[in-house]
Structure 1
Amino acid sequence: MRRLTRSVAAATMATALALVSACSSGSDDDDASGVGSSLEQVTYLTSFGNFGRDAYAWVAKEKGFFKDAGFEVEIKPGQGTGAVIQTIVGGQAQFGPIDLTGGLLQLGNGDAKDFVAVAAIQQRTMAAIATVEGTGINTPKDLEGKKLADTPGSVVRNLFPTYARMAGIDYEKVTWVNGEAQTLMGTLASGSVDGIGQFVVGQPTIEAVTKKKAVLLPYSNVMQDLYGNVLITSKQYASEKPESVKKFTEALLKGLEYALANPQEAAEILAKNAEAVNPAAAAAELQLMAGYVRSSNSGTALGTLDSGRVAKSIAILRGAGALKSDLTPDQIIDFNLAPKA
């Protein structure tokens, strides 16, 4: 009887030890799969402040897409193409969207280097001059003699001389003053400037802030084949962590797809995380942006970049005299990391 009791006790102890071992092993597996302390800490910059057009990053965070991919992401408001590039190359952030045309200008004119694009956010440029009724601006020619505001590194501002040439206006007759992403619309509402650099999807927010009907002059009306925003990272990060780039890109694009399918929910997520967001305007921005995100080719995957189209963009800028040096698409895009068509 004693022998049987000792045998049962030994078996019970062995089972308990096996369970403890299994639990410990499971915990280690969780860490290895990107849960808990093993999450990679990265900083993401929005393209330009916190508006509806950038809500998809907050969606990716809120819905756990970043965490599932192995990242703990801090989202900070960006201040336009030039500033986003500088911050990422400087190592203060790892990812962020810039306007591809603005990136080409920065790279081709020696103002920036050591960054690469890894996915498209919008298949067409959304750059525009925005104003409101009553300013006397209805056509590009009306911009002559007017005062516009934008951040110094914004693609709208940096691309304006090229836009002006192609639209047949004298860009030297237009005055630019400095502004900040979050205060530009308030500057327009106050009447201290005649117009601002903006994306076309900003129309609902402009009207909400100014209480007037918005008037927009899209750059795409005179410059075809230009991409909109693209996701970038530094060349160093892309070289050292290519798999991390792919995983982050996939998670961000998942957030983009969800935000476009659920604009009201995405707007509410943004409003919960960023002050002074008008949810109705943010949702309207996302609805307008959908047509710029989806390629005209229905079978093309979200986020893809086409070398031929980028080459055409370079040719447009070269033809307008906007680039000091020639470029090739693979100098600004890492096609090995970008989503495949």
Structure 2
Amino acid sequence: MTRFARTVAAVALTTALALTAGCGGSDSDADAGSDGKALKKVTYLTSFGNFGRDAYAWVAKDKGFFKDAGFDVTIRPGQGTGGVIPAIVGGQAQFGPIDLTGGLLNMGNGQAKDFVAVAAVQQHTMAAIATTEGNGISKPKDLEGKRLADTPGSVVRNLFPTYARLAGVDATKVKWVNGEAQTLMGTLAGGSVDGIGQFVVGKPTVEAVTKKKAVLLPYSAVIPDLYGNVLITSKKNAENDPESVRRFTAALLKGLEYSLGHTQEAAQILKRNVDTTNPAAAAAELELMAGYVTPKDGSGAVIGSLDSGRVAKSIRLLEDAGTLPKGMTPDQIIDFDLVPKG
């Protein structure tokens, strides 16, 4: 199985971010699933734009996995945890991935509710600060006095105070400015900021866009137990139609697993649906993401699984760092009845 990576892809995706589901061949002219029943229309949001790391959703659509599960899926670009949650809760979309830590912070601090996680996409956080050589950043302490950009609701930005505290960085000496998913890398390339919120798999794309060697500071180097992205849906959807949630989750994870083993094909599928995709960068993102998606050998876990004990440990870490109020429990944010099991 190839290495799987989650890079934030090229800035040139600006126009493509407005695209809707686009069309993978097998869904374009059919309105019934493998059981002959009418397909259920569903809107899915990607985690952060239409980048290589999110290609697995397009793969699930293109290969007919969604159709076979009974769904006609429209795929739209998400704007990070802070954008995906309200869209799911508000009914503009039914499913989408968010960073679990970002979800905990949003829920624990009263910024969001009425959503639940139903599967893990990545077993470990891929959050990071990305910069390039020449910006004077090679270790966390170097971030002091620097200017960083990210979307306001990004988990990289929201988790930064915890990361800074544990890494020995004075967060008050770091200036954050607002950016958008499709323009962040251009902002870094243009030199108006010293670094951007990013995922570790973004390294190939950062280098492709900036034409410089990328430098990444992974949050996992300081906070190793945090999960990465998880698939969420609304509590209402989970309670009213759990079987539909299970079928959708299984189809999406099938696309994820297929993408792990066929990164070049997955990149080409993304290219067919998002014209501005750089297939080489998209495939590299998928290659890098593999180690974050696949559970450790011997753990007994399957792709998509979530462990209550690990989540509880993450909650305690965030509580101890002062970024999460006391008293949250894993089952407040995860519906363990719907999570895939080995």
**2:32·2:67 contact (CA, 8 Å) conserved in 1?**
no
Aligned equivalents of 2:284 and 2:176: distance in 1? 28
Amino acid at match of 1:255: G
Q: Name the SS for the 1:248 alignment partner.
A: helix
| 1:151 to 1:36, Cα distance in 2 relative to 1, 3 A | farther
Matches within 5 A, 1:139-150: 139-150=139-150
- C-alpha deviation, 1:340, in angstroms: 0.8
Name 1:214's counterpart in structure 2: 214
- C-alpha deviation, 1:56, in angstroms: 0.2
**2:150·2:197 contact (CA, 8 Å) conserved in 1?**
yes
**2:32·2:70 contact (CA, 8 Å) conserved in 1?**
no
CA offsets 1:265-292 (integer angstroms, 9 cap, x no match): 0011111111321110110010000000
Q: Name the SS for the 2:66 alignment partner.
A: helix
**1:35·1:67 contact (CA, 8 Å) conserved in 2?**
no
Amino acid at match of 2:213: K
Aligned equivalents of 2:32 and 2:226: distance in 1? 41
Q: Name the SS for the 2:264 alignment partner.
A: helix
| 1:169 to 1:244, Cα distance in 2 relative to 1, 3 A | same
Q: Name the SS for the 1:338 alignment partner.
A: coil
Name 2:23's counterpart in structure 1: none
Name 2:227's counterpart in structure 1: 227
Matches within 5 A, 1:1-341: 38-298=38-298, 299-341=300-342
Percentage of matched positions with identical amino acids: 75
Amino acid at match of 1:102: G
Aligned equivalents of 1:336 and 1:209: distance in 2? 42
CA offsets 1:282-336 (integer angstroms, 9 cap, x no match): 1001000000001113432110000000000001100100112421000000000
The number of residue pairs the alignment matches comes to: 312
CA offsets 1:114-167 (integer angstroms, 9 cap, x no match): 000000000000000000000000000000011000001100000000100000
Q: After TM superposition, what 4+ stretches of structure 1 lie above 6 angstroms from structure 2? A: none
Amino acid at match of 2:173: K
Name 1:11's counterpart in structure 2: none
Q: Name the SS for the 1:38 alignment partner.
A: coil
What 5-or-longer segments of structure 1 have no aligned partner? 1-29
Report the TM-score when normalising by structure 2.
Answer: 0.89
Amino acid at match of 2:178: N
**1:34·1:71 contact (CA, 8 Å) conserved in 2?**
no
**1:122·1:230 contact (CA, 8 Å) conserved in 2?**
yes
Larger relative contact order (CA 8 Å, sep ≥ 6): 2
Structure 1 or 2, whichever has the larger Rg, is 1
Q: Name the SS for the 2:57 alignment partner.
A: helix
What 5-or-longer segments of structure 2 have no aligned partner? 1-29
> More helix per residue: 1 or 2?
1
Name 1:21's counterpart in structure 2: none
Aligned equivalents of 1:206 and 1:216: distance in 2? 10
Aligned equivalents of 2:173 and 2:155: distance in 1? 19
Aligned equivalents of 2:150 and 2:62: distance in 1? 30
| 1:336 to 1:147, Cα distance in 2 relative to 1, 3 A | same
Name 1:24's counterpart in structure 2: none
Tell me the C-alpha RMSD between the 2 structures: 1.4
